[in-house]
Every structure is written in C-alpha cells, then in structure tokens.
Amino acid sequence: MNNRQERIKTFSNFGFGLVLHWGLYSLLERGEWVQHNHKYDTAAYKNLINDFTASEFNAAQIAALARKSGAGFIILTTRHHDGFSLYDTRGLNEWDAPHSAARRDLVAEFVEACRNEGIMPIFYHTTLDWHWRGKTTWDLDEAEFKDYLDYLLSSVEILCTQYGPIGGLVFDGNWSRPDMNWNYDRLYGMIRKHQPHALIMDNTGLERPGVLEHPEIDVVTFEQHAVTASDKPYGEDIAAMRWLTLNDHWGVAPHDFNYKSGREILEGLTRSRRYGAVYTLNLGPLPNGGIDELDRAVLARIGRWMDLYGEAVKEGRVEMYQCETVQENRAVPNSDFVRSAGNGGKGYLFCHNLGIRGQENVTWGQQGSSLRRISSCPKKIRSIYWMDTKEELEFKQEGTSLTVNCSGFSYGENHVVRVAVLVWD
C-alpha cells in the first residue's frame, strides 16, 4: 500500500469526525457569514479583535469530547473568509489571534490537545478573503490575484512548517473565482514537500458536491448533501467526506433552533458509511471558545451509540449487497446495508426502522420482529447475532439469498440503527 492509499484508508476508517467553526464572527452570534450577509461595518468588525479573549477555549476539553464521541479527527477553521487567523501569521499581518485580546496561538493549543487524545488535527483554511488589501478576492484583477496567491501560499506554509505533522488541510473558497487560475500545482506541491502524509481536501461547495478537481486531492466533499453512490465505494482510490451543520449555521447562532434530531444524525452517519464516506458534524463554539451545553449533549449521545457500534462504523469496507424488508411475502428495498470487517471472517448488517417489543397500547410504531433479506450475499453464513446484546438471530440461507429474523428493540431502548454481526466462512 502506497502513501496515498494509506492516508485515504486511515481517514476513511475514522468514519466520524468533527469540524469547529470559530473566529471573530462568533462574537456576533449570527453565523459565520454575518459580516458579509448583514453588511457589517468593516471598521467595527476589525475592532472585534479587541474583544476576542478566547477565555473559555479549552482545547484539551474539546479533544476529550471528540474522543468520547467516537470522532477520529477534528477540523479547525484556522482562517475563515474574514481573513482572521487563529494561528500566528509570523509577520504576514497582525490580523491573528496572537494580536487579539487572547494573545495566544490557538492553533498550537489545538494541535497539542488533539495529539494528547489520539485525535487527528486537520486545518481548514479559506481561499476566499473579504479583507485582503481592503478588497474581497472576488473583486481582484489578475495581477492582484497573483499577489494574493503568494500571500495564501505563505500563510499555508506556516501551517505546514510550524506545528509538526498534521492530518490534513481543507481548502474552501475556490468556488468564488472560477474565472481565475488558482495554481493548484504550486500550493499542493508545497504541502507535499513539508507534509507528505497530509490529506488534501478542497470543498467544492453546495452546488458541486463530490467533484474531484485535481489529482492531488485525497478527499472529495459533500457540503450539507447526502452522499450518493459512486461506481465503487469511497475509501479506496478516493475518500469522501459529508460535512454538515447541527442546525442551519456553521458559526454559533443561538437563535437558530432548527437542530437535527438524534435520528437524523445517526441515520446520516450510517447512510454515509453505506457508501464509504466519512460523516463530519460541525460545532460552532461560543464567543468565548466554550462548547454549548446542547452540543455537548449531542456528542455524548453519539458517543453512547458509538460505544455499541463504533467498530462496525470504522473498520472494513462496503459490500454492495441488495438489502430488503420482507412484508406480506414480498420484498421491499430498504436502507439496510452490509460492511465487511477489515480482518475478514465477518460482516456487519446495519438495520434501520426496527420496532420496539412491548404492549401495543404502549409502544409506538412497528411491533416485534422484522424479516430482512440480503438477496446477493455470496458468503456462507455460520451465525448472526446483535452486536449490542450478543443475542443470536434466526436466519435462512438459500444460495445467495439470506433472510434474517431481526428482533425488535426491548422496551426502553431504540438505537435508531442497530447492527448485527454476520459470521461467515
């Protein structure tokens, strides 16, 4: 396995990760695009640097929360579109955290904390800048744009040389100037020189999900989009990342109440894994850098589910088997899917929409057991059992057709998605 294959496999096997959107915009508590969308006065926005204390930013606590949730990596917005950097720009400008009220290199703290918890640190870095030389990059002429690319290269080189080995870089904003030559070869070549094992990702935006724009890209992105089937599962020649918000904003917005439910999150996670993609959930830290109580609760709930099924989420590969629910002697395609374990000898059947066993006037929805069929399973099955309870399941195999009697949840439980272990020859 070569270097590229190894880093793609490592990232894909994480299965789940986090992204943090945090910066000066967090002080305004109206999302990460607040300055642009609300036409916030530039001078007033610049003055926010004097209020950016990061007084409750505790990278060690954040990394510990990530580990307990089952996340394998954290992506941090080292610089967002407002051009403000959480790292020491070392003389490129004074629009950074060390020159703010915080007086700290917050990226250095982040990297150290991630390493201490066994979490991969990944850097998000904008390529769109609203403040460079008093202009936005979408207003630059060709000569100015070339100068900006020099500044961008120097900025990213700091990240590649001052923090030791990093997991990767995520770029965001090239979609803002499709008319310009971004000189990918120079930027990506510099990264490969200093960080040969780092992942390179380019967020292709809402309108172009899953697009591979350069051969050096290791991970294609699906921003807010569900991942769709490719010719073969992601995670082999190219990785895929579905990243999305908990509500409708990336940056903190306390008046955005449109939070995803536990079902939406867990089904989103497992359906991403159905195609081999990595599910990445965003948190918008509070203005002071702390993590909101609701966000903590969401991570804790994901962590409890991952304690039960994390092994099935993380390891192995997708098997392109057809899965169905048997209803009244007919088979109906469903959301179930199978992943094979990395060491062989077994697979994992992800079962959706199971009922709860209990008195019919108390439980809600489908009752009892549910017959599930895998119509194209070439493996000889020896046994099947629930991963969480080790309860053996009845099954019948005829050729490549496998029917499993999937018992419902015991009263008092509903995991949304339940995983059965298939032991095969």
pLDDT tens digits for range 311-370: 999 988 888 888 999 987 788 999 999 999 977 899 999 999 998 877 666 666 555 568
Out of 11-20, 185-194, 230-239, 310-319, pick the least confident: 230-239
As beta bridge partners, residue 278 has: 241
Mean pLDDT score, 115-136: 97
In this structure, what CATH number is given to the domain that contains residue 369?
2.60.40.1180
Give me the pLDDT at residue 364, please. 61
CB 406 within 8 A of CB 372: yes
Q: What is the pTM of this model?
A: 0.95
CB 31 within 8 A of CB 249: yes
Choosing from 282, 314, 346, the residue where a domain stops is: 314
Q: What is the DSSP letter of 322?
A: -
Domain of 362?
317-424
Total of domains in the chain: 2
368 shares its domain with 254: no
Choosing from 290, 314, 338, the residue where a domain stops is: 314
Choosing from 314, 349, 377, the residue where a domain stops is: 314
Q: For residues 226 and 320, give the distance between their C-alpha atoms in angstroms, rounded to a whole number.
A: 18
Mean pLDDT score, 281-287: 98
CA 320 to each of CA 14, 323, 398, 420: distance values in angstroms, whole numbers, following the listed order: 20, 9, 19, 17
Using only the alpha carbons of the chain, give its radius of gyration: 23
- Please state, as a whole number, how many other Cβ atoms lie within 10 Å of the Cβ of residue 413: 12
88 shares its domain with 148: yes
Q: For residues 41 and 112, give the distance between their C-alpha atoms in angstroms, rounded to a whole number.
A: 36
Q: For residues 385 and 346, give the distance between their C-alpha atoms in angstroms, rounded to a whole number.
A: 11
Q: Exposure of 277 by Cβ count < 10 A (0-12 exposed, 13-18 middle, 19+ buried)?
A: buried
Tokens representing 256? 């955005």
50 shares its domain with 168: yes
Give me the pLDDT at residue 75, please. 99
Q: For residues 202 and 243, give the distance between their C-alpha atoms in angstroms, rounded to a whole number.
A: 12
In sequence order, the 6+-apart residues with CB closer than 8 A to the CB of 93 are none
| Encoded amino acid at 76, one letter | L
Beta strand extents in 42-167 (DSSP E only): 73-79, 120-126
Give me the pLDDT at residue 17, please. 99
68 shares its domain with 84: yes
